[in-house]
């Protein structure tokens, strides 16, 4: 097998704080290096990756439902402040008071008063939807069984 020709180094983009970029620039001038790439290569060559332990907290993804108006406010604010939506969410969650909210306040941003009768109606309305979903899930399985049965009968008729 022929050796692959070495590819030229492709640029990697990193999002760094301005203070770290300033540190790269000062190291470049003090060490007499030609570019910031050389500073980064030198730093990586000298760095002991085995000793490194992250101080960053473990992250996990979650999915939440937000009303359209809240999504709009969130995205506009992120563009205005030039930060990510996730960063705004983290700031909002950090700023959230631990006090238990009143029952009339809902996380959707609208006030609702729920009645027990309305909850019962929702539960009964969901049951037919669940049945329909189960039927839909079973339907493809039934089709497969029917097709297999048809093939078997066709084969048995041909062999006669």
The pLDDT of residue 121 is above 70? no
Q: pLDDT value at position 107?
A: 55
Question: Residue 28 and residue 24: Cα distance in Å, rounded?
Answer: 6
Q: pLDDT value at position 101?
A: 65
Q: Is the CB of residue 42 less than 8 Å from the CB of residue 34?
A: no
Question: Residue 105 and residue 32: Cα distance in Å, rounded?
Answer: 61
* 16-40 pLDDT per residue, tens: 889 999 999 999 999 999 999 999 9
111 pairs with which residues across the strands?
105
* 145-156 pLDDT per residue, tens: 677 777 777 766
105 pairs with which residues across the strands?
111
Helices 68-81 + 85-95 axis angle, to 10: 100
* 47-86 pLDDT per residue, tens: 998 898 888 888 888 889 999 999 999 999 999 999 999 9
Mean pLDDT score, 91-107: 72
Q: Is the CB of residue 78 less than 8 Å from the CB of residue 88?
A: yes
End-to-end CA distance of the chain, in Å?
55
pTM metric for this prediction? 0.43
Residue 105: phi and psi, rounded to 5, are -85, 135
Mean pLDDT of the chain: 78
Q: pLDDT value at position 6?
A: 72
């Amino acid at each position: 097998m022929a050796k692959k020709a070495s590819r030229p180094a492709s640029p990697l983009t990193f999002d760094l704080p301005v203070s770290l970029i300033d540190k790269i620039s000062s190291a470049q001038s003090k060490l007499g290096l030609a570019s910031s790439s050389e500073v980064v290569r030198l730093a990586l060559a000298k760095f002991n990756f085995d000793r490194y332990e992250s101080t960053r907290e473990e992250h996990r993804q979650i999915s939440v439902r937000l009303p359209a108006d809240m999504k709009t406010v969130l995205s506009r604010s992120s563009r205005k402040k030039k930060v990510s939506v996730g960063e705004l969410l983290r700031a909002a969650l950090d700023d959230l008071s631990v006090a238990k909210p009143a029952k009339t306040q809902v996380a959707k941003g609208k006030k609702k008063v729920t009645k027990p009768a309305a909850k019962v109606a929702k539960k009964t309305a969901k049951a037919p939807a669940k049945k329909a979903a189960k039927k839909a899930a079973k339907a493809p399985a039934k089709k497969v069984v029917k097709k297999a049965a048809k093939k078997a009968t066709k084969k048995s008729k041909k062999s006669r």
